[in-house]
């Protein structure tokens, strides 16, 4: 697999014989963020809520105690309309607003994502054989505790739904998206009758929940309060096409988006499939065609940049990333790739500036610290270089490397600037907490 296009795979882990990857796809994450923003505002939540995308065919979404809303790519893939995804976001925000996770388990903060997902996958596996009873035995220890912390009671589900109703209606939406999403869940449970969809394991779906949503919707209709503003769903459609192509084999993408289909979404998906097949030039030509159609779409430029970098056309890649960021400067994942391209071109000053901006916004991304560590090293700042690499190791829970880099950084303490000495102390404190 080629490196750059799939930098959208942030890290992978295995849970119960299944492989999961956290994806760093700029378009889908930004879409979730923008869709969630008005709901968070209505809910009065001012904390920074992080959206995380996990590559998996399962339908699932859940909040982790670090206040991240986690989406499985399968949920977006199986949603027919954007309102269904928005309804799920509203429901998850409902859990955050009601502080369900923080009430349930303070200790859950220590759980890493792999532990949580292996817990969820474990429940699914256990449910096939011995529902409930076998769960703790099969997945064991921490994963079981993490899963219990994520599972909601019926009362909590009702509460999160009630908050979602209010958030959606206050934002001019009906409950159709939510009701339709319940329908998808139900349909999938029938399809896979032996294994309930993962979503059900963390969010029990009862007939009561469906009825409650329907009743609420009926009352809205009677009160003439259903507005469901018609909003443009073209961004959703393009995002979904890109996500499909990034999470499926190129042949599957080419079967779904056949060459006869000249719509933008089909060309977009195919351009990614070709890039995955190593046909970068063909892919770039298609993306340039799309850019002619929609010159203000920052994601076409982002993908074009990735394709160029992947085929070694670094200057063209930088150019495309810069154009994307001119349209939407807040695309930090694109800026991270720009930083990497600058680094590859040994434009160290520009790389440093780009990494520094990204570090402010994505301080928990290991690759940001990795890049900074390399830039510092090349510029001769050995101590800072080791500190940045220690940060990377800490984020990856790689205690051995972290110890190594902290020790190495300490040896350069004499030549460090004052801020760097302070940084060294902070890293040592973070290390002790591990
Ligand atoms: Zn729920």
Q: Using the predicted structure, report yes or no on whether residue 218 has a pLDDT greater than 90.
A: no
Residue 177 maps to which CATH number? 3.30.2010.10
Task: Tell me, in angstroms, the distance from the centre of ligand 1 to residue 69's CA.
Answer: 11
Give distance in angstroms: CA of 164 to centre of ligand 1. 10
Going by DSSP bridges, is the β-strand pair 18-23/68-72 parallel, antiparallel, or unpaired?
A: unpaired
CB atoms within 10 A of CB 256: 16
Task: For residue 53, give the 3-state DSSP assignment.
Answer: strand
- Rounded distance, CA 375 to CA 122, Å? 41
Is 131 a member of any domain?
A: yes
Instruction: Give the distance (Å) from ligand 1 centre to CA of residue 72.
Output: 14
Distance 250 CA to ligand 1 centre (A): 34
Mean pLDDT of 131-143: 38
Residues 6+ apart with CB under 8 A from 1: none
Sequence-distant (6+) residues with CB within 8 A of 407 are none
Candidate ranges 102-106, 231-235, 290-294; pick with highest mean pLDDT? 290-294
The listed range with the strongest mean pLDDT (95-99, 197-201, 226-230, 336-340) is 336-340
pLDDT-derived band at 3, boundaries 50, 70, 90? very low
> Rounded to the nearest whole angstrom, what is the distance from the C-alpha of residue 155 to the centroid of ligand 1?
10
Residue 383 has a pLDDT of 96
Distance 100 CA to ligand 1 centre (A): 10
The residue whose two tokens read 């940045």 is 388
Our count of domains for the chain comes to: 1
DSSP state of 403: H
Backbone angles phi, psi at 54, to 5 degrees: -115, 130
**pLDDT value, residue 395:** 87
Instruction: Provide mean pLDDT across the span 182-186.
Output: 79
Is there a contact between 31 and 53 (Cβ–Cβ < 8 Å)? Answer: no
Residue 323 placed within a domain: no
The rounded percent of the chain whose pLDDT value lies above 90 is: 56
Residue 396 lies in a domain: no
Nearest to 342 by CA among 365, 375, 367, 311: 375
Would 433 be classed as within a structural domain? no
**What DSSP element (H or E) covers 156?**
helix 154-170
**Assign residue 172 a region: left if phi > 0, alpha if psi is -120 to 50, beta otherwise?**
left
Any idea which of 55-59, 234-238, 272-276, 403-407 has the lowest mean pLDDT?
55-59
Lowest mean pLDDT among 34-48, 87-101, 234-248: 87-101
Query: Which residues have C-beta within 8 Å of that of residue 68, sequence separation ≥ 6?
Result: 49, 50, 51, 52
Q: Is the pLDDT of residue 128 over 60?
A: no
Q: How much distance in Å is there from the Cα of 1 to the middle of ligand 1?
A: 36
Distance 202 CA to ligand 1 centre (A): 7
Nearest-5° angle of CA 22, CA 24, CA 28?
A: 105
**% pLDDT > 70, the chain:** 77
Distance 108 CA to ligand 1 centre (A): 17
Domain membership of residue 39 (yes or no) is yes
Whats the size of the chain, residue-wise? 434
Q: What long-range pairs does 165-172 form, CB within 8 A, spacing at least 24?
A: 165/213, 165/216, 166/42, 167/39, 167/42, 167/43, 167/90, 167/93, 167/94, 168/39, 168/86, 168/87, 168/90, 169/220, 169/225, 170/42, 171/38, 171/39, 171/42, 172/227, 172/228, 172/229
CA of 396 to the centre of ligand 1 (A): 29
Per-residue pLDDT at 268 exceeds 90: yes
Q: Which domain holds residue 22?
A: 5-222
Cα 95 to ligand 1 centroid, rounded to whole Å: 7
Residue 193 covered by a domain: yes
The answer to whether 321 and 345 are in contact (CB under 8 A) is no
pLDDT one-digit tens code per residue, 343-394? 999 999 999 999 999 999 888 888 899 999 999 999 999 999 999 999 999 9
d(CA 178, CA 213): 8
- 111 vs 133: which has the higher pLDDT: 111
Rounded CA gap, 309 and 219, in Å?
54
pLDDT in tens, 158-177: 899 999 999 999 998 888 88
Instruction: Say how many Å lie between the CA of residue 91 and the centre of ligand 1.
Output: 6
Cβ neighbours of residue 218 under 8 Å, at least 6 residues apart?
Answer: none
Q: What are the phi and psi torsion angles at 61 (to 5°)?
A: -155, 140
């Amino acid at each position: 697999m080629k490196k750059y296009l799939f930098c959208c795979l942030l890290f992978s882990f295995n849970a119960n014989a299944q492989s999961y990857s956290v994806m760093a796809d700029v378009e889908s994450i930004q879409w979730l963020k923008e869709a969630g923003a008005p709901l968070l505002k209505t809910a009065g939540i001012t904390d920074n809520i992080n959206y995380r995308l996990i590559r998996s065919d399962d339908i699932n979404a859940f909040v982790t105690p670090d206040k991240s809303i986690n989406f499985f790519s399968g949920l977006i893939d199986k949603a027919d309309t954007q309102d269904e995804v928005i309804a799920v976001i509203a429901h998850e925000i409902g859990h955050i607003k009601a502080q369900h996770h923080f009430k349930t388990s303070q200790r859950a903060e220590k759980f890493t994502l792999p532990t949580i997902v292996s817990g969820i996958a474990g429940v699914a596996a256990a449910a096939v054989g011995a529902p409930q009873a076998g769960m703790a035995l099969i997945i064991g220890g921490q994963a079981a505790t993490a899963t219990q912390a994520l599972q909601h009671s019926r009362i909590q589900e009702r509460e999160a739904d009630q908050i979602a109703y209010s958030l959606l209606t206050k934002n001019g939406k009906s409950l159709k998206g939510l009701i339709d999403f319940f329908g998808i869940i139900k349909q999938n449970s029938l399809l896979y009758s032996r294994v309930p969809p993962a979503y059900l394991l963390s969010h029990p779906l009862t007939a009561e929940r469906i009825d409650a949503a329907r009743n609420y919707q009926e009352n809205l209709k009677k009160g003439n309060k259903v507005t469901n503003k018609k909003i443009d769903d073209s961004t959703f459609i393009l995002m979904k096409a890109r996500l499909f192509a990034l999470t499926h084999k190129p042949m599957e993408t080419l079967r779904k988006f056949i060459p006869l289909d000249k719509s933008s979404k089909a060309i977009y998906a195919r351009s990614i499939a070709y890039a995955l097949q190593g046909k970068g030039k063909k892919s770039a030509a298609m993306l340039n065609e799309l850019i002619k159609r929609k010159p203000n779409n920052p994601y076409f430029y982002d993908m074009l940049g990735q394709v160029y970098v992947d085929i070694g056309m670094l200057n063209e890649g930088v150019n495309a990333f810069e154009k994307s960021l001119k349209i939407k400067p807040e695309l930090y994942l694109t800026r991270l790739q720009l930083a990497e391209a600058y680094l590859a071109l040994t434009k160290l000053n520009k790389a440093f500036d780009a990494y520094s901006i990204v570090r402010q916004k994505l301080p928990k991304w290991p690759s940001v610290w990795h890049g900074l560590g390399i830039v510092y090293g090349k510029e001769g700042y050995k101590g800072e270089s080791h500190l940045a690499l220690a940060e990377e190791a800490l984020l990856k829970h790689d205690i051995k490397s972290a110890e190594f880099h902290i020790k190495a950084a300490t040896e350069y303490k004499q030549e460090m600037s004052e801020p760097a000495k302070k940084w060294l102390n902070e890293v040592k404190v973070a290390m002790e907490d591990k």
